[in-house]
Structure 1
Amino acid sequence: MATMTTQVRGLPYGRPLTNADLDSMPDDGHRYELIDGVLIVSPAPRLRHQRVSMRLSVVLFNACPDDIEVLAAPFDVVLAGDSTMQPDLIVTRTEHPTERNLPVAPLLAIEILSRSTRTFDLLLKKDRLARAGCPHYWVVDPDEPSITAWTLRDGEYVVVAEATGDRPFAVTDPFPVAFTPSDLVL
């Protein structure tokens, strides 16, 4: 009878993980992220998720100024020595990314909710991005469809815009953009 283990070979036991440990993860189609030394593993996104991601990236790309760019996951955002995440979309100044990662908090991080990531996106990632000083955080729920935008004020995220279905969503920061959530899920 074979014994089953939950340990990943080669990972240290009994200590928080670091970004160096994250580099040893296999290239197997899963998304490996590290939040405060805790490994988060997510399956590859589903088709609906990918469609929303692509449509939203086009909307953002068309609206952003020349000194800002939109990048899609997987692309590492290094927030600390024990925290590297891959938001579904990030918006950053063009001079900040390296070929390998974004070594600073993005101007905007966007997560597209799914059943397997909802809790992490709404709690852990949101909190970790706030602590890193990410000025804007958006969450898209493709099932409603809806979008909520938070802005960092005094170290806490506050809701600055929300929209559901055909209702317009509009913000001015980090740059002006407007659309409806239903446009993302056609």
Structure 2
Amino acid sequence: MTHKASGRPYTVEDLEGMPDDGHRYELIDGVLIVSPAPVPKHQKVVGEIFMLLHRACPTGLSAFTAPLSVRPSSSTELQPDVLVARDEDLTEKDLPVAPLLAVEVLSPSTALNDLNNKKAAYERMGVPGYWVVDPHELKLIVFELDVRGCYELVAEVKGEDAFEATLPFPVRIVPATLLGTWFDRA
């Protein structure tokens, strides 16, 4: 769901007044994006990706799960499901610059936004790597910035196929393992 402030774009300051109601409130160029609370399957995949990235993180980099705000301007604040950032780029409150990697896990209510608006926003921010995980199809889609600063599809793996990431550091992702015991129920 997206909303526009009456008469003016939203700012990150407006987000401070949003209710603590389980929804995720984000901004892209002053447009408010409200997402419902995630379901267990979504959270399971988020947790598994976080753990894989956390374990592989070299010194000086850290992996985080939402809610951690990426706030590059007063009109944009996103909370990727999982992100990797340089420790030196973090403040006490947020990440004011582009992360090295942003990961979004699709759900029926966020898929269109994740594949379009957020992808474009991350690209404009200069996020080097953007991963999209579809937990229903057990699929990982990987985009990386090319020399022009545009996202290029570099991999699409499903099920038991592995993606051997090099950006932002070496890590192996197998979509079928991201649901653990949920795989049998998927």
- TM-score > 0.5, shorter chain as reference: yes
Paired letter, 2:57:
C
Give the structure-1-normalised TM-score: 0.92
User: How far 1:98 sits from its partner (Å)?
Assistant: 1.4
**Alignment pair present for 1:169 and 2:180:** no
Q: State the match for 1:181 in structure 2.
A: 175
* Offset of residue 179 of structure 1: 2.5
Q: Residue type matched to 2:93 in 1?
A: R
What residue ranges of structure 1 are gaps of 5+ in the alignment?
1-7
Partner secondary structure for residue 95 of structure 1 = helix
Over aligned residues, Cα RMSD in angstroms? 1.3
Q: Which of residues 67, 70, 74 in structure 1 aligns to 2:67? A: 74
Query: What is the aligned partner in structure 1 of residue 24 from structure 2?
Result: 31
| Structure (1 or 2) with the greater helix fraction | 2
CA distance in 1, matches of 2:5, 2:155: 42
- Say which is worse superposed, 116-125 or 92-101, in terms of deviation: 92-101
- Give, in angstroms, the shift of residue 162 of structure 1: 1.9
In 1, Cα distance between equivalents of 2:91 and 2:84: 14
Deviation of residue 185 (structure 1)? 1.2
User: Distance between the aligned counterparts of 1:120 and 1:131, measured in 2?
Assistant: 15
**One-letter amino acid of the counterpart of residue 150, structure 1:** F
- Please report how far the alpha carbon of residue 48 of structure 1 lies from its aligned counterpart in structure 2 after TM superposition: 0.2
* 1:41 correspondence with 2:31: no
SS of 1:185's equivalent?
helix
Superposed displacement of residue 31, structure 1: 0.3
| Whole-angstrom distance in 1 between the partners of 2:74 and 2:138 | 35
Following superposition, the deviation at residue 155 of structure 1 comes to 2.0
Partner of 2:70, secondary structure, is: strand
Quick one: distance in 2 between partners of 1:155 and 1:66?
Answer: 26
Contact 2:5 2:31 in 1 (8 A): no
Find the structure with the greater CA-based Rg: 1
Contact 1:167 1:181 in 2 (8 A): yes
> Once superposed, which parts of structure 1, at least 4 consecutive aligned residues long, lie more than 4 Å away?
none
Once the two structures are superposed, residues 120-174 of structure 1 have per-residue CA deviations (whole angstroms, 9 ceiling, x without a partner) of 1000000011001111100000001010111111121001222100011111111
Distance 2:47 2:154 in 1: 23
CA separation in 2, counterparts of 1:161 and 1:65?
23
State whether residues 68 and 93 of structure 1, in contact with CA within 8 Å, keep that contact through their aligned partners in structure 2. yes
How far off its partner does 1:12 sit?
Answer: 5.0
> Partner of 2:97 in structure 1?
104
CA distance in 2, matches of 1:53, 1:175: 18
The answer as to whether partners of 1:161 and 1:171 remain within 8 angstroms in 2 is no
**Structure 1 residue 84: Cα displacement:** 0.2
Question: 1:49 is paired with a residue of what secondary structure?
Answer: helix
Q: Does 1:129 align with 2:122?
A: yes
Match of 1:155 in 2: 149
Contact 1:161-1:170 at 8 Å conserved across structures: no
Contact 2:10/2:31, CA 8 A, preserved across alignment:
yes
> For structure 1, which segment, 107-116 or 23-32, has the greater mean C-alpha deviation from structure 2 after superposition?
23-32
